[in-house]
Structure 1
Amino acid sequence: MAETNFAEFTEKSANDRTFMYVLYGLHTVAWASMGTLAVIAVILNYIKRMDEADAVYASHHNYMISTFWWTVLWLIVTAPLWLLLVFPGAIAYGIVGLWYLYRCLRGLFRFSEGKPPF
Protein backbone atom coordinates (compact mmCIF):
# COMPACT_ATOMS: atom_id res chain seq x y z
CA MET A 1 0.00 0.00 0.00
CA ALA A 2 1.38 3.41 -0.97
CA GLU A 3 2.27 5.97 1.67
CA THR A 4 0.07 9.05 1.88
CA ASN A 5 1.77 12.30 0.94
CA PHE A 6 0.20 14.80 3.32
CA ALA A 7 1.90 17.71 1.51
CA GLU A 8 -0.49 17.22 -1.42
CA PHE A 9 -3.60 17.99 0.61
CA THR A 10 -5.53 21.10 -0.30
CA GLU A 11 -7.56 23.27 2.03
CA LYS A 12 -11.19 22.21 2.27
CA SER A 13 -13.94 24.64 1.38
CA ALA A 14 -17.01 25.55 3.42
CA ASN A 15 -19.09 23.43 1.04
CA ASP A 16 -17.01 20.37 1.89
CA ARG A 17 -17.54 20.94 5.61
CA THR A 18 -21.27 21.51 5.08
CA PHE A 19 -21.56 18.31 3.04
CA MET A 20 -19.87 16.34 5.83
CA TYR A 21 -22.28 17.85 8.36
CA VAL A 22 -25.19 16.84 6.11
CA LEU A 23 -23.87 13.27 5.94
CA TYR A 24 -23.58 13.11 9.72
CA GLY A 25 -27.07 14.57 9.97
CA LEU A 26 -28.50 11.94 7.63
CA HIS A 27 -26.87 9.17 9.64
CA THR A 28 -28.04 10.67 12.93
CA VAL A 29 -31.73 10.95 11.97
CA ALA A 30 -31.82 7.68 10.02
CA TRP A 31 -34.04 6.09 12.66
CA ALA A 32 -36.87 8.42 11.57
CA SER A 33 -36.80 6.92 8.07
CA MET A 34 -36.31 3.32 9.19
CA GLY A 35 -32.75 3.41 7.87
CA THR A 36 -33.41 4.83 4.41
CA LEU A 37 -31.48 8.01 5.13
CA ALA A 38 -28.55 5.95 6.41
CA VAL A 39 -28.46 3.97 3.17
CA ILE A 40 -28.45 7.20 1.15
CA ALA A 41 -25.74 8.66 3.40
CA VAL A 42 -23.50 5.60 3.19
CA ILE A 43 -23.76 5.60 -0.62
CA LEU A 44 -22.71 9.27 -0.61
CA ASN A 45 -19.88 8.37 1.81
CA TYR A 46 -18.57 5.79 -0.64
CA ILE A 47 -18.79 8.23 -3.55
CA LYS A 48 -17.08 11.11 -1.73
CA ARG A 49 -14.43 8.87 -0.17
CA MET A 50 -13.11 7.89 -3.60
CA ASP A 51 -12.08 11.49 -4.38
CA GLU A 52 -11.07 12.52 -0.88
CA ALA A 53 -7.52 13.79 -0.46
CA ASP A 54 -7.78 15.11 3.10
CA ALA A 55 -6.89 12.49 5.71
CA VAL A 56 -9.34 13.80 8.33
CA TYR A 57 -12.24 13.83 5.88
CA ALA A 58 -11.34 10.37 4.57
CA SER A 59 -11.19 9.01 8.12
CA HIS A 60 -14.65 10.42 8.85
CA HIS A 61 -16.03 8.81 5.69
CA ASN A 62 -14.49 5.50 6.77
CA TYR A 63 -15.89 5.97 10.27
CA MET A 64 -19.43 6.53 9.00
CA ILE A 65 -19.20 3.59 6.61
CA SER A 66 -17.92 1.22 9.29
CA THR A 67 -20.54 2.46 11.77
CA PHE A 68 -23.27 1.72 9.23
CA TRP A 69 -22.05 -1.80 8.45
CA TRP A 70 -21.44 -2.73 12.11
CA THR A 71 -24.96 -1.56 12.88
CA VAL A 72 -26.40 -3.69 10.09
CA LEU A 73 -24.43 -6.68 11.39
CA TRP A 74 -25.68 -6.20 14.98
CA LEU A 75 -29.27 -5.75 13.80
CA ILE A 76 -29.03 -9.04 11.90
CA VAL A 77 -27.39 -10.85 14.82
CA THR A 78 -30.02 -9.64 17.31
CA ALA A 79 -32.99 -10.20 14.97
CA PRO A 80 -33.72 -13.73 16.33
CA LEU A 81 -34.45 -12.18 19.73
CA TRP A 82 -37.73 -10.91 18.26
CA LEU A 83 -38.83 -14.56 17.94
CA LEU A 84 -38.52 -15.12 21.69
CA LEU A 85 -40.74 -12.27 22.73
CA VAL A 86 -41.07 -8.65 21.71
CA PHE A 87 -39.27 -7.38 24.80
CA PRO A 88 -35.78 -8.92 24.21
CA GLY A 89 -35.82 -7.86 20.56
CA ALA A 90 -36.86 -4.33 21.43
CA ILE A 91 -34.16 -4.07 24.10
CA ALA A 92 -31.49 -5.36 21.71
CA TYR A 93 -32.56 -3.02 18.90
CA GLY A 94 -32.71 -0.15 21.37
CA ILE A 95 -29.13 -0.81 22.48
CA VAL A 96 -27.94 -1.04 18.87
CA GLY A 97 -29.79 2.19 18.06
CA LEU A 98 -28.23 4.02 21.00
CA TRP A 99 -24.78 2.77 19.99
CA TYR A 100 -25.38 4.03 16.43
CA LEU A 101 -26.52 7.41 17.73
CA TYR A 102 -23.48 7.62 20.02
CA ARG A 103 -21.12 6.89 17.12
CA CYS A 104 -22.80 9.48 14.90
CA LEU A 105 -22.70 12.19 17.55
CA ARG A 106 -19.14 11.36 18.59
CA GLY A 107 -17.97 11.57 14.99
CA LEU A 108 -19.88 14.80 14.44
CA PHE A 109 -18.33 16.45 17.49
CA ARG A 110 -14.85 15.25 16.58
CA PHE A 111 -15.32 16.54 13.03
CA SER A 112 -16.46 19.94 14.30
CA GLU A 113 -13.17 20.12 16.25
CA GLY A 114 -11.20 19.22 13.10
CA LYS A 115 -10.01 15.93 14.56
CA PRO A 116 -10.22 12.37 13.25
CA PRO A 117 -13.13 10.35 14.65
CA PHE A 118 -11.02 8.07 16.84
Structure 2
Amino acid sequence: MIPGEDTPDMEKGLTQRQLVHVMYGLFAIAIISTGFFGVAAIGAVVLAYLKRGDMVGTVYAGHVDWIIRTFWWGLLWLVLSAVATMIFIGFATGLVAVIWIIYRLIKGWLAHFAGETPLPGL
Protein backbone atom coordinates (compact mmCIF):
# COMPACT_ATOMS: atom_id res chain seq x y z
CA MET A 1 0.00 0.00 0.00
CA ILE A 2 1.28 3.44 -0.90
CA PRO A 3 1.85 5.73 2.12
CA GLY A 4 -0.87 8.30 2.52
CA GLU A 5 -3.53 6.26 0.76
CA ASP A 6 -6.74 5.73 2.64
CA THR A 7 -7.85 2.88 0.41
CA PRO A 8 -8.50 -0.53 1.88
CA ASP A 9 -7.93 -2.88 -1.04
CA MET A 10 -9.86 -6.10 -1.36
CA GLU A 11 -8.19 -9.16 0.12
CA LYS A 12 -9.23 -11.58 -2.61
CA GLY A 13 -9.09 -11.04 -6.34
CA LEU A 14 -7.92 -7.85 -7.91
CA THR A 15 -7.17 -4.82 -5.77
CA GLN A 16 -9.14 -1.64 -6.33
CA ARG A 17 -6.07 -0.10 -7.95
CA GLN A 18 -5.82 -3.02 -10.38
CA LEU A 19 -9.54 -2.81 -11.14
CA VAL A 20 -9.19 0.84 -12.13
CA HIS A 21 -6.27 -0.12 -14.40
CA VAL A 22 -8.50 -2.79 -15.98
CA MET A 23 -11.23 -0.18 -16.56
CA TYR A 24 -8.81 2.22 -18.23
CA GLY A 25 -7.29 -0.66 -20.22
CA LEU A 26 -10.66 -1.83 -21.52
CA PHE A 27 -11.51 1.73 -22.50
CA ALA A 28 -8.14 2.08 -24.26
CA ILE A 29 -8.72 -1.16 -26.21
CA ALA A 30 -12.02 0.24 -27.47
CA ILE A 31 -10.33 3.45 -28.60
CA ILE A 32 -7.27 1.81 -30.16
CA SER A 33 -9.44 -0.62 -32.12
CA THR A 34 -11.41 2.39 -33.47
CA GLY A 35 -14.60 1.04 -32.02
CA PHE A 36 -14.20 -2.50 -33.34
CA PHE A 37 -14.00 -3.70 -29.77
CA GLY A 38 -16.52 -1.10 -28.54
CA VAL A 39 -17.84 -3.77 -26.24
CA ALA A 40 -14.63 -3.29 -24.23
CA ALA A 41 -15.71 0.29 -23.42
CA ILE A 42 -19.11 -1.02 -22.38
CA GLY A 43 -17.32 -3.58 -20.21
CA ALA A 44 -15.27 -0.81 -18.60
CA VAL A 45 -18.40 1.18 -17.76
CA VAL A 46 -20.29 -1.85 -16.47
CA LEU A 47 -17.31 -2.71 -14.25
CA ALA A 48 -17.17 0.92 -13.09
CA TYR A 49 -20.85 0.86 -12.14
CA LEU A 50 -20.48 -2.48 -10.37
CA LYS A 51 -17.49 -1.35 -8.29
CA ARG A 52 -18.60 2.24 -7.74
CA GLY A 53 -20.12 1.52 -4.32
CA ASP A 54 -17.04 -0.39 -3.15
CA MET A 55 -14.78 2.55 -3.95
CA VAL A 56 -16.74 5.32 -2.24
CA GLY A 57 -14.44 7.26 0.06
CA THR A 58 -11.25 6.05 -1.63
CA VAL A 59 -8.93 7.79 -4.06
CA TYR A 60 -10.33 5.49 -6.74
CA ALA A 61 -13.89 6.85 -6.53
CA GLY A 62 -12.93 9.84 -8.66
CA HIS A 63 -11.50 7.55 -11.33
CA VAL A 64 -14.67 5.48 -11.49
CA ASP A 65 -16.78 8.63 -11.88
CA TRP A 66 -14.28 9.94 -14.46
CA ILE A 67 -14.59 6.78 -16.56
CA ILE A 68 -18.39 6.80 -16.36
CA ARG A 69 -18.67 10.48 -17.33
CA THR A 70 -16.16 10.07 -20.16
CA PHE A 71 -18.14 7.15 -21.58
CA TRP A 72 -21.55 8.82 -21.49
CA TRP A 73 -20.42 12.25 -22.71
CA GLY A 74 -18.27 10.61 -25.40
CA LEU A 75 -21.19 8.45 -26.53
CA LEU A 76 -23.48 11.48 -26.67
CA TRP A 77 -21.04 13.48 -28.81
CA LEU A 78 -20.33 10.54 -31.11
CA VAL A 79 -24.06 9.96 -31.67
CA LEU A 80 -24.63 13.66 -32.33
CA SER A 81 -21.69 13.62 -34.74
CA ALA A 82 -23.15 10.62 -36.55
CA VAL A 83 -26.41 12.51 -36.97
CA ALA A 84 -24.51 15.62 -38.10
CA THR A 85 -22.88 13.68 -40.94
CA MET A 86 -26.13 14.28 -42.81
CA ILE A 87 -25.17 17.95 -43.04
CA PHE A 88 -21.51 17.14 -43.70
CA ILE A 89 -20.04 18.44 -40.43
CA GLY A 90 -20.32 15.21 -38.47
CA PHE A 91 -16.88 14.00 -39.47
CA ALA A 92 -15.23 17.07 -37.96
CA THR A 93 -17.27 16.94 -34.76
CA GLY A 94 -16.70 13.17 -34.55
CA LEU A 95 -12.95 13.72 -34.77
CA VAL A 96 -13.14 16.33 -32.00
CA ALA A 97 -15.17 13.91 -29.85
CA VAL A 98 -12.64 11.10 -30.33
CA ILE A 99 -9.74 13.42 -29.49
CA TRP A 100 -11.61 14.56 -26.34
CA ILE A 101 -12.21 10.94 -25.28
CA ILE A 102 -8.54 10.05 -25.84
CA TYR A 103 -7.46 13.14 -23.88
CA ARG A 104 -9.68 12.17 -20.91
CA LEU A 105 -8.50 8.57 -21.03
CA ILE A 106 -4.84 9.62 -20.95
CA LYS A 107 -5.40 12.34 -18.31
CA GLY A 108 -7.29 9.97 -16.02
CA TRP A 109 -4.88 7.08 -16.42
CA LEU A 110 -1.82 9.28 -15.79
CA ALA A 111 -3.49 10.63 -12.65
CA HIS A 112 -4.15 7.05 -11.56
CA PHE A 113 -0.49 6.12 -12.06
CA ALA A 114 0.45 9.16 -9.95
CA GLY A 115 -1.94 8.05 -7.20
CA GLU A 116 -4.16 11.10 -7.68
CA THR A 117 -7.77 11.68 -8.62
CA PRO A 118 -8.32 13.29 -12.03
CA LEU A 119 -9.19 16.94 -11.65
CA PRO A 120 -12.62 18.05 -12.84
CA GLY A 121 -12.77 19.92 -16.08
CA LEU A 122 -12.60 18.99 -19.71
- TM-score, normalized by length of structure 1? 0.80
Mapping of residues 1-118 of structure 1, within 5 Å? 9-12=6-9, 15-31=15-31, 32=33, 33-85=36-88, 88-118=89-119
Unmatched segments (≥5 aa) in structure 1: 1-8
Identity over aligned pairs, percent: 33
Distance 1:27 1:72 in 2: 12
CA contact (8 A) 1:30 1:37 kept: yes
The structure number with the bigger radius of gyration is 1
Shift of 1:113: 0.6
Structure 1 residues 106 and 10: CA distance shift in structure 2, 3 A = closer
Equivalent residue number for residue 6 of structure 1: none
CA contact (8 A) 1:110 1:116 kept: yes
Higher relative contact order (CA 8 A, sep 6+): 1
RMSD over equivalenced CA pairs, Å: 1.9
If each structure's helix is expressed as a fraction of its own residues, which one has the higher value? 1
Distance 1:23 1:83 in 2: 33
Matched residue count: 108
Runs of 4+ in structure 1 off by over 4 angstroms are none
1:35-68 Cα deviation digits (max 9, x unpaired): 2111111000000112224431011000100111
Distance 2:22 2:110 in 1: 13
- TM-score, normalized by length of structure 2? 0.78
Distance 2:95 2:63 in 1: 24
